[in-house]
Amino acid sequence: MKNEFSVVGKSVPRIDAYDKVTGRARYCRDLKLEGMLHAKLLRSPYPHARVKALDVSRAKSHPAVKAIATIEEVPKVVGYWWNLRTEKGMKKMFMQDNVVRFVGDPVLGVAAEDEDSAEEALSMILVQYEQLPPVFDPVESMKDQTIKIHERGNIAFHVLKEYGDIEKGFREADFVIENRFVTSKQKHATIEPIGSCIADYSPSGKLSVYSSTQLPHWSRMYLAGALGLPSSNVRIIKPYTGGAFGGRCGLIHGLELMCCHLSKKAGRPVKMSFTRKEDFEATEGRHPFLVELRTGFTKEGILTANSIKIVMDVGAYATHYIGVIADALSTGVGLYRIPHVKFEGYCVYTNKSLNGAFRGYGNPQMNFAQESQMDIVAEKLGMDPIELRLKNYRGAGEIDPVFNEKILSCGLKECLFQGAEKIRWKKKSRRSSRRGKIRKGVGMSCLMHGTGARFGLPDPASAIVLINADGSVSLETAAADDGQGNKTGLVQIAAEELGIDWRKISVSDTDTDTTPLDGGTHGSRQTYCGGIAVRKAAAQAKKSVLVFASKHLNTPQNRLDIREGVIYDTKRPSLNISLADLMRKIQIEDLSLCEQIIGAATGVAPSMPPTYGAHFAEVEVDTETGGVRVLRLVGAFDVGKAINPAHIEGQIAGGEVMGIGYALTEGLVIENGKVMNSNFADYRIPRSCDIPRIDAVIVESHEPTGPFGAKGIGEATMIGTASAIANAIYDAVGVRMKELPITQEKILVALQSFNPP
Amino acid sequence: MKNEFSVVGKSVPRIDAYDKVTGRARYCRDLKLEGMLHAKLLRSPYPHARVKALDVSRAKSHPAVKAIATIEEVPKVVGYWWNLRTEKGMKKMFMQDNVVRFVGDPVLGVAAEDEDSAEEALSMILVQYEQLPPVFDPVESMKDQTIKIHERGNIAFHVLKEYGDIEKGFREADFVIENRFVTSKQKHATIEPIGSCIADYSPSGKLSVYSSTQLPHWSRMYLAGALGLPSSNVRIIKPYTGGAFGGRCGLIHGLELMCCHLSKKAGRPVKMSFTRKEDFEATEGRHPFLVELRTGFTKEGILTANSIKIVMDVGAYATHYIGVIADALSTGVGLYRIPHVKFEGYCVYTNKSLNGAFRGYGNPQMNFAQESQMDIVAEKLGMDPIELRLKNYRGAGEIDPVFNEKILSCGLKECLFQGAEKIRWKKKSRRSSRRGKIRKGVGMSCLMHGTGARFGLPDPASAIVLINADGSVSLETAAADDGQGNKTGLVQIAAEELGIDWRKISVSDTDTDTTPLDGGTHGSRQTYCGGIAVRKAAAQAKKSVLVFASKHLNTPQNRLDIREGVIYDTKRPSLNISLADLMRKIQIEDLSLCEQIIGAATGVAPSMPPTYGAHFAEVEVDTETGGVRVLRLVGAFDVGKAINPAHIEGQIAGGEVMGIGYALTEGLVIENGKVMNSNFADYRIPRSCDIPRIDAVIVESHEPTGPFGAKGIGEATMIGTASAIANAIYDAVGVRMKELPITQEKILVALQSFNPP
């Protein structure tokens, strides 16, 4: 691949690599503040109950206990992005009242000198619960009029969108097929468990919170709002973070607000870190979907109608419900050029731990349904699944009906071609050889996923670039790095724009006191949204540099450029000055100037470009045991432009592995409201022995609105893995698995019903 | 005083008050990093010697010792501001070679697991010194050809400046008087001892240094230069600081560079904190001056000529020598309209600990000489000392010959009038009553002191203003606050400009990774230079706000203003929107914008306006014991505009007290190179019982280049205290004390020679 850039497109090492591999990196859990207390939560043992009485007298007298707070007294946070936009739309989120709504719902927090004492104090508290009838199944919950999980009813949100005329679409179809798909409650399973923060509430009214949030600026706003402080008095400091995947996309139920309140009460810093068990039982997971699809298509393989009905299990409290179901639209409505679509969704409360943001944000669920359905359509028609996609996908120049925006870049075709070639699709997709005990099969799927949240949520990104007197650069950005390498990518973008060595750029810590407004790290947005802001700020700084250089070199500004840290006349390169020399002159030598170069940029990205991709899976199914081995995965993704190819390969590898788990093993098992697999022995994420060769194919379509053509990648990489694996399983053994995870047991049952003994 | 401003001119409480009075504030000494080592210095017992051999073998085998470094191997810092400007002019500062040049000069540093082990290791090191002949007296040092303290000779710097024709001046004089004045080596005696830092050198090449420096950005530059790192890889973080007064105005001899080097060697963070004894013996003090003045004047009291010769004791290494002697010019040449002036200065090395920056920076020394001389002139003429000043001072509209700039604001006359009235000068200055054992007297002096370093050094100031979605503001500035209240003042300036409540503004920590270039806190510059930058940045932000408001309110931008957080049409105030509402619209509600408001400013201040002032002292002298009691002090200062009057009163009280010490008791006693009073029992700063009623008179002349008319104050407040007290002593008992400190013993001796028994 020819590279016209000096650092963009190169796999430079991570700027945080050294700290991480040597253990110097400090995560929220590692931090200790002077005088810091440790907090623990008393959690409900019942899925639905009212706290009738609390006796904290014994706990209070524990000498190490410094503060106790009930959920009721904790300040309430009102709304997330969407309802932050209108005061009147605001409503209390979790931690509302004296009702507990799932097993693990916090009742009370204790801050003590050490964790053991806090635990001990919890055991001294007597709670009198009045048990209420629970409801666990969302379909039941929708219908049930007797059990109200929330005052306003059990349906948190209902959406109905119609494009075209669905009945007409079905009339125009030669075939109509109907299927029902079910997905699981996956957990983020981050290497650093979800839920750790330290709140330091100074009685002066300044609140500092160390938190591994993905949304430092929004967290600041939520906390400031809840606590009645100006945002400027709330400081969110984000240390190194061990993975997020949406799990830290907002305040954590029972965490920050409780810590802040306990800190205020005790007058000391308070730390709370959830255990892995708490992570599994009481933090957000992926929404289980029930998807009913009815799809009409012609015998030529043209899709004419798609009716989508989703029932989504929100859990006990609604956080990211609206956005998640909205994102399912991009797969269900946006990916294929289907003229007549009806999309109906119900977000339903149940007495289970809450569900929220998770890599893919509604798309993985919808993708499993949709891309399984596409495979069924292809089979019905005897058509190659790739061909079916090629006939129907929506490409560059077309209008995406969900965003109502023209698609400016789409490399899906190249993803399909290159991915197919990589896995040797043509050879392997011939079914003739499916025989014997162990059977191989291949499957594929397509996906799209918007970059950022431009058309749905406030999506600001900002950056400040400071050029120092030696020509080195300090970059201020709140673009939180959860481990994916954002900061390195942003450094590359700044270096490319400025024409300097990337090693001479430092990036600020993620700290709301010193970094400009940013919408957070979610929606695969930082390379694109953050990158646009960084590039703009760098361009502004560069422009200021060239103004000075033009005077100094006595040559027109428009003839000047910077390369390898040297400002030169493009028409006469011998006329030049190093950036460092010019900066020393401006900032130190010329006493009448002493100007630092400052470039700043803020605002929303012009678009929300979809990233496209194709997954290919080759599996081997043991027809006797139902065991599935994934033999190979190919992920081909159109990233617009790969700023750092190694990072993209890392995302693809990581996403595919997460997708294997989603496909085959992952999902919380909840019985009577109780999580039965709240540890890594029982909740099985893929082990290294489960991980096959994974090929990453990078397609560069050049997104014109993106920084150097880039768009997002983080989430896309896991969206279609499960559907590709399910399709491969079908290809191998002829059973259509419509429920995630596709466990060995389920396959065995399906094989037996397919081939009754 | 009528106040047209809403917050400027009001004594709002300090933003750091709460943290400080409750002990929450953390100073460098309080900080602990994980895995941190503690370092100690081995210091020379000789004033001049060559290190012939070092045996560190026993110390190395100490189990707690993790790194040992000799001064020779430590990276050298080359130059301060002035010679940073030209590569070729750079030279090594302290820590040069294997020669020790004063008692306490560091030879070697040890980093160990704890301070005791480091001390223990020091005692295990054998040093073989070759003693060299020392020289302590600067006049001797100038002449001595045999003892060379530095290769280039013992005169570090010689300056000769002539204005007019000095001989002509003396010819035009009716009288010529000649006097010789001597000043002492005062110590900063900060509440937090000078010298504390933690260096954390990551092998990745990122260096973080916690330091209470007054010059974070310059420290970054020095360290980056010495260590061969880009500035962006060096991060200076300044915690709360317990006073500076110039004592932290640059790198500290033996501190930061040693810590960085030891940290690099050990691969762990290293902390070093000097003891109070080390502070007294081995950190910078105020340069002792020997000043010879020859002054010509007419019988009408017009000064015609002034010949100034200064020998300045630099100590063993030269840091702030050039700037300090240059500042003496402003008193010696700038304050009075003397047509013919000759100024000659010698900065001379001696084998004593180094001298450097100290509140007043050359002016207090020169002021003591000059203002004593003025008193002598007045007496000779039988003229009121105030009248003599009024006849000769240089006022607004005149050109200051030192800066070659027009004086735009000068409230000296008002200072003289108001100060005189306050102390009841006319009544008290009548000598008739000087009788008896205890005699009272009054004295006065004038001073001027430039704000900042605009005409001498690179003097940048920058600020970034971020307006948050709730209308609160984050201010980014590197304007270090050493305890004087800079940050509060800057908040007031931003609040005034933006028209919002000052409580809704937070100021960033002082951290070079996230704050724009700033010349540091010195030269009484932050209210003026920092204030100009903050006001500009705020104005830029305000302008951006009004652009949006104009669209939103559909009214021309130039009709809009902001007051109390509300943007309103000045012609039709009912047309308005709160800043918070507008910001929410721009940043959150309008998805097509999502812009934070960012204002940024950088550059040098347009001027270096002198602050003027007059000191008045009333004393009581016990003619039997020589004891002096200061009964009352009045300090009247023209600050342009008092941004926060309480801060100015605080500065005046603090400066006057420091001046009492300078006048009467303070000065290191050095015998054979050894400091004999390296503790607060023997080095006597004023105790509360020594402190009289102090009246602060604030004069506001409105400096047109300053933020809301303000100029500096910090240093001015102590410059003329000693001369006013000396003049008061003369007034009381008729002896002219020409050497500081004016101890009881010296007065007694003088009284006895004046009135031989």
Q: Could you read off the pLDDT of A138-154 as tens digits, one per residue?
A: 999 999 889 999 988 99
Residue type, B455: F
**In this structure, what are the phi and psi dihedrals at residue A161, rounded to the nearest 5 degrees?**
-125, 135
Question: Domain tally for chain B?
Answer: 3
Asked whether the predicted pLDDT for residue A203 surpasses 70, the reply is yes
B474·A34 Cβ contact <8 A: no
**Any chain B CB within 8 A of the CB of A430?**
no
The answer to whether residues B269 and B331 belong to one domain is: no
CB A229 within 8 A of CB A257: no
Residues A276 and A358 in one domain: no
Is there a single domain that holds both residue A488 and residue A575?
A: yes
B476 contacts on A by Cβ (under 8 Å): 514
Chain B residue numbers touching A17 (CB-CB < 8 A): 204
Q: Is residue B552, in this structure, part of any structural domain at all?
A: yes
Of B504, B515, B592, which has the smallest distance from its Cβ to A604's Cβ?
B592
What residues are paired with B567 via a beta bridge?
B562, B577
Looking at CA atoms only, how far is residue B468 from chain A in angstroms?
7
Query: What is the tens place of the pLDDT at every residue in A592-611?
Result: 999 999 999 999 999 999 99
In this structure, are B299 and B410 located in the same domain? Answer: yes
Among the partner residues A225, A593, A598, nearest to B604 by beta-carbon distance: A593
Res A583 pLDDT > 80: yes
The terminus-to-terminus CA distance of chain A in angstroms comes to 55
- 671-730 in chain A: CB under 8 A from chain B: none
CB-CB: which of B455, B513, B600 is closest to A509?
B513
- Is residue B165 in a domain? no
Transcribe A601-638 into DSSP letters. Answer: EEEE-S--PEEEEEEEEEEEEETTT--EEEEEEEEEEE
Does residue B181 contact residue B346 with C-beta atoms inside 8 Å? no
Do A114 and A65 belong to one domain?
yes
Q: Is A486 left (phi over 0), alpha (psi -120 to 50) or beta?
A: alpha
Taking the Cβ of residue A85 and every Cβ of chain B, the question of whether any pair is shorter than 8 Å is answered with yes
- The number of helix segments (H) and strand segments (E) in chain B equals 21, 31
Mutate to test the interface with B, among A468, A583, A705 (most CBs of B within 10 A): A468
How far is the C-alpha of B110 from the C-alpha of B120, rounded, in Å?
10
- Judge contact between A714 and A484, C-beta under 8 A: yes
Q: Calculate the alpha carbon distances from B532 to A313, B411, B601 in Å.
A: 57, 21, 9
- pLDDT tens-digit series, residues A33-79: 999 999 999 999 999 999 999 999 999 999 999 999 998 899 887 66
CA neighbor of A745 nearest in space, from A627, A659, A629, A660: A627
Residue B183 within any structural domain of the chain: no
pLDDT above 80: residue A82: no
Looking at the DSSP bridge assignments, the partners of residue A577 are: A567
In a domain, B158, yes or no: no
pLDDT score of B3:
53
Measure B27 CA to nearest chain A CA, in Å.
Answer: 13
Which is nearest to A244 in space by CA: A298, A194, A310? A194
Whether B628 is covered by a domain: the verdict is yes
Q: What part of B 443-502 touches A (C-beta under 8 Å)?
A: 454-460, 462, 464, 466, 468-474, 476
Amino acid at residue number B261: H
What are the pLDDT digits (tens) for A227-275? 999 999 999 999 999 999 999 999 999 999 999 999 999 999 999 999 9
Within an 8 Å CB–CB cutoff, is residue B508 touching chain A?
A: yes
pLDDT at A194: 96
Whole-number percent of chain A with pLDDT over 70: 96
B346 and B265, same structural domain? no
Asked if B565 reaches chain A (Cβ–Cβ under 8 Å), the answer is: no
Q: What does DSSP say about strands A37-43 and A106-112: parallel, antiparallel, or unpaired? A: antiparallel
Encoded tokens for A559: 């003839």
Helical H runs in B330-403?
363-381, 385-392
Going through A646-751 in order, the beta strands assigned E by DSSP cover: 670-671, 674-675, 693-699
For A:643-662, CB contacts with B below 8 A are none
pTM: 0.96
- Taking the C-alpha atoms of residue A267 and residue A288, their distance in angstroms, rounded to an integer, is 41
* Peptide bond connecting B741 to the previous residue in cis, omega within 30 degrees of 0: yes
Residue B496, domain member (yes or no) = yes
Task: Name the residue in chain B with its Cα closest to that of A17.
Answer: B204
Question: Could you tell me if B576 and B716 lie in one domain?
Answer: no
Residue A613 tokens read as 């991709």
Residue of B18, B235, B469 lying closest to A204 (CB–CB): B18
Four-point Cα dihedral B216, B218, B220, B226, nearest 10? -150
| CA proximity to A302, closest of A248, A265, A343, A338 | A338
CATH number at residue B194: 3.30.365.10
Angle between helices B486-498 and B531-553 (to 10 degrees): 30
**Residue B671: strand, helix, or coil:** strand
Contact A508 B519 (CB under 8 A): no
- 3 state SS of B80: coil
Neighbours of B525 (CB within 10 A): 29
DSSP letter for each residue of A77-119: PB--HHHHS-GGG--B-SS-SSEE-STT-EEEEEEESSHHHHH
Q: What is the DSSP secondary-structure string of A334-359?
A: ISB--SEEEEEEEEEE-SS--B---T
**Residue of chain B nearest A590, judged by CA positions:** B458
Kindly tell me the burial class for residue B606, based on how many C-beta atoms sit within 10 Å of its own C-beta (0-12, 13-18, 19 or more): middle
DSSP A28: G
B356 found inside a domain: yes
ipTM (interface pTM)? 0.95
Please state, in angstroms and rounded to a whole number, the distance separating the CA atoms of residues A543 and B265: 41
* Placement of tokens 């939180």 in the chain: A480
The answer to whether the peptide bond before residue A741 is cis (omega within 30 degrees of 0) is yes
Looking up residue A55, the CATH number of its domain turns out to be 3.90.1170.50
Determine the pLDDT at residue B76: 81
Same domain, A396 and A525: no
Nearest by CB to B595, from A235, A512, A603: name it. Answer: A603
Q: Do A233 and B472 touch (CB under 8 A)?
A: yes
Q: Does A515 touch chain B (CB under 8 A)?
A: yes
Q: Which of A80, A220, A596, A607 should we substitute to test contact with B (largest number of B Cβ atoms within 10 Å)?
A: A596
Could you say which of A568, A584, A604 is where a domain stops?
A604
- The DSSP symbol for A365 reads H
Range of the domain at B525: 17-24+460-604
Residues of chain B below pLDDT 50 = 1-2, 83-90
Using a CB-CB cut-off of 8 Å, the residues of chain A touching B513 are: 474, 506, 508-509
CB contact under 8 A, B470 and A230: yes
Residue where a domain terminates, one of B555, B571, B604: B604
Work out the minimum CA distance from A244 to partner chain B, whole angstroms: 24
What does the pLDDT read at residue B84?
46
Measured in angstroms, the CA of B466 and the nearest CA of chain A are apart by: 7
Q: Which residues contact A555 (CB under 8 A, 6 or more apart)?
A: A569, A572, A575
For B:336-375, CB contacts with A below 8 A are none
> Of chain B residues 185-204, which have a CB less than 8 A from chain A?
202-204
What's the gap in Å between the CA of A471 and the closest CA on chain B? 8
> Do A432 and A470 lie in a common domain?
no
Q: What is the pLDDT of residue A301?
A: 98
R_g over Cα of chain A: 27
Sign of the CA dihedral with B26 first, then B28, B29, and B35 last: positive
> Does residue B314 sit in the same domain as residue B441?
yes
Instruction: Establish if B31 touches chain A: CB-CB under 8 angstroms.
Output: no
Q: Is-contact B721 B656, C-beta < 8 A?
A: yes
The torsion region of residue B209 among left (phi > 0), alpha (psi -120 to 50) and beta comes to beta
Residues B192 and B258 in one domain: yes
Q: In this model, does residue A121 exceed pLDDT 70?
A: yes
Dist CA A440 CA A442 (whole Å) = 7
Looking at chain A, which residue has its C-alpha nearest residue B607? A592
- Give the model's pLDDT for residue B141: 97
Establish if A400 touches chain B: CB-CB under 8 angstroms.
Answer: no
Nearest CA in chain A to B513: A508
The residue out of B254, B282, B310 marking a domain boundary is B282
* Strand intervals (E) in A433-489: 438-450, 460-467, 473-476
**Residue A605 distance to chain B (closest CA, Å):** 8
Residue A160 lies in a domain: no
Q: Is A233 on the interface with B (CB under 8 A)?
A: yes
In terms of domains, do B575 and B471 share one? yes
Tokens of A663: 């496909």
Cβ atoms of residues B205 and B43 within 8 Å: no
